Amino acid sequence: MTKEEAQELVADYRRAALLHQQKEAKEEGDIQPLKPLTVKERKANEALYRKVGSEWMAKKALGLVLLAGGMGTRLGYDGPKGTLNIGETKELYIFECLFHNLREQLNIASACEGSSDVTPTDVPVCIMTSDKNDERTRDFFKEHDYFGYGQENIYFFTQEMAPACDYEGNLLMEDENTPATSPNGNGGWYSSMQKAGLVDILKGRGVSWLNVFGVDNVLAKIADPLFFGAVISSGKTSGSKTVAKKSPQEKVGVMCKKNGHPAIVEYYELSEEQAGARAEDGSLCFGMGVILNYLFRLTDLDRIAGEHMPVHLAEKKIPYMDGDGIFHKPEEPNGYKFEILITDLLAYLTDCLPYEVVREEEFAPIKNKEGVDSVESARELLRKNGVKL
Ligand code: UTP
């Protein structure tokens, strides 16, 4: 990206971000609860859902998209997050955990009565990287023989980059000729896949649904026939795995209905009253936290692809070179990065099934160096689920 292109992009993104902020401030939006399929409800129909999902998987209808283009700055690991070894007595990489989980679900689908074998050929995986981690991610998969999944069933594609600016909107430079750029958020994955020609390849393989998930949840159940079957059986056109909020104050985005569409509302957008409101059965009305595990139909994604999704300003510490050629690594945020978010995608859909899962079984995120959502907390959950570390 040249300096001139970057300057133009900064101006475009800033305009879009400010417009979005103004729109949000003006419209409060009609926020309503969206009823989830609870764990209890799902259990009553588990055999049917698993059968439906497994059959569709055997028919090659499902493809996976792993969003691994993030910088993982909070973790502070100097490499693609998925290449982090979290093992204690043996090597166990984050990517390895995810492919292990995937295999487990393919085995479940294969063992399902009435379904034929479901193999990696039936469920291709697309991995989104960014310019900052693409080469290292590809090399890592090659070194580990694609975790036995078959190189021909794994596709890599890169997301777009966005330039960063200071608080006044001036472009920040990495060096004299290179604008400071970073991945543009996890919301532009589908258009990046289209540009890479991957959507056509997937359609050619028979794929009509995508299961999209993040790199940092080492307990993520992906290609889960139960989830897939439940969404199809519900007649809804998309699905989102959710976990029950621990408390009304928990800082997590929750599923809701906004202006008639499914949506994810951030914790700070809910009033205290809304956050604490309870349904007749005692559950929180806005209590279904999202865990970045979605099912979308390709037909909907094709329709949405031309839309201009909202641009968000993220205040960050951005290393830069000043006019005198001195390089700075700020300790405090010094400007903005621009991001498009997958959570905004739902608003373009007609409906979505919130699908509740048991938190301790399916949610072990690795975000931070220590404490909450760290390697240590994820290890503990892996141990509880019988994973040898
Ligand atoms: P996060 O919101 O945790 O962002 O991403 P991050 O950049 O990885 O981490 P921090 O905030 O710097 O610590 C959630 C998921 O979205 C992916 C991440 O790789 C992760 O799977 N993501 C995020 C992208 O693929 N691209 C992006 O530009 C941002």
Q: pLDDT tens digits for 10-50?
A: 999 998 888 888 887 777 678 999 999 999 999 999 999 99
- DSSP character string of 317-371: ---EE-TTS-EE--SS--EEEEE--GGGGGGGSS--EEEE--HHHH--B--BSSS
185 ligand 1 Cβ < 6 A? yes
Question: Is 341 touching ligand 1 by the criterion CB < 6 Å?
Answer: no
Q: Which CATH architecture has domain 3-18+28-384?
A: Alpha-Beta Complex (3.90)
How high is the mean pLDDT in each 10-residue block of the chain (389 residues)? 91 88 76 94 96 96 98 91 97 98 97 90 98 97 98 98 94 94 94 97 98 98 98 97 94 92 90 91 94 98 92 92 93 93 95 97 96 96 96
Alpha helices (runs of H) in the chain, residue ranges in sequence order: 3-26, 39-44, 46-58, 94-111, 134-143, 189-195, 198-204, 225-234, 272-276, 298-304, 359-362, 375-384
Q: Is the CB of 187 under 6 A from ligand 1?
A: no
Report whether residue 137 contacts ligand 1, using a CB cutoff of 6 Å.
no
Q: Is the CB of 73 under 6 A from ligand 1?
A: yes
Residue nearest to atom 15 of ligand 1 (CA): 214
The encoded tokens of residue 296 equal 């979308």
Nearest atom, ligand 1, residue 216 CA: 21
Q: What ligand 1 atom has the least distance to the C-alpha of 342?
A: 16
**Does ligand 1 have an atom closer than 6 angstroms to the CB of 80?**
no
Å from CA of 49 to ligand 1 middle: 31
Which residue's CA is the closest to the ligand 1 atom numbered 18?
A: 70
Can you give the pLDDT at residue 18? 86
For tokens 């938190």, what's the residue? Answer: 359
Ligand 1 geometric centre to CA of 68 (Å): 7
Tell me if 71 CB under 6 Å of ligand 1.
yes
Contact 59, 206 (CB under 8 A): yes
Ligand 1 center to residue 72 CA distance, Å? 6
The residue nearest atom 22 of ligand 1, judged by CA position, is: 70
Residue whose Cα lies nearest atom 1 of ligand 1: it is 70
Question: What are the tens digits of pLDDT across the range 150-159?
Answer: 999 999 999 9
Question: 357-389 b/e with 16+ CB inside 10 Å = b?
Answer: bebeebbbbbbeeeeebbbebbbebbeeeebee
In this structure, what are the phi and psi dihedrals at residue 325, rounded to the nearest 5 degrees? 80, 15
* pLDDT the model gives residue 88: 96
How far apart are the CA of 191 and the centre of ligand 1, in A?
17
- Ligand 1 atom with minimal separation from the 75 CA: 13
Query: What is residue 113's predicted lDDT score, i.e. its pLDDT?
Result: 84
**Domain edges within the chain:** 3-18+28-384
Paired sense of beta strands 62-67 and 154-158, if any? unpaired
Distance of CA 134 from the midpoint of ligand 1 (Å): 14
**Residue 289: CB within 6 Å of ligand 1?**
no
- 96 alpha carbon – ligand 1 mean position (Å): 18
pLDDT for position 215: 98
154 is written with which tokens? 């794994």
Alpha carbon of 183 to ligand 1 centroid (Å) = 9
For atom 21 of ligand 1, which residue has the closest CA?
214
Does the beta carbon of 154 sit less than 6 angstroms from any atom of ligand 1?
Answer: no
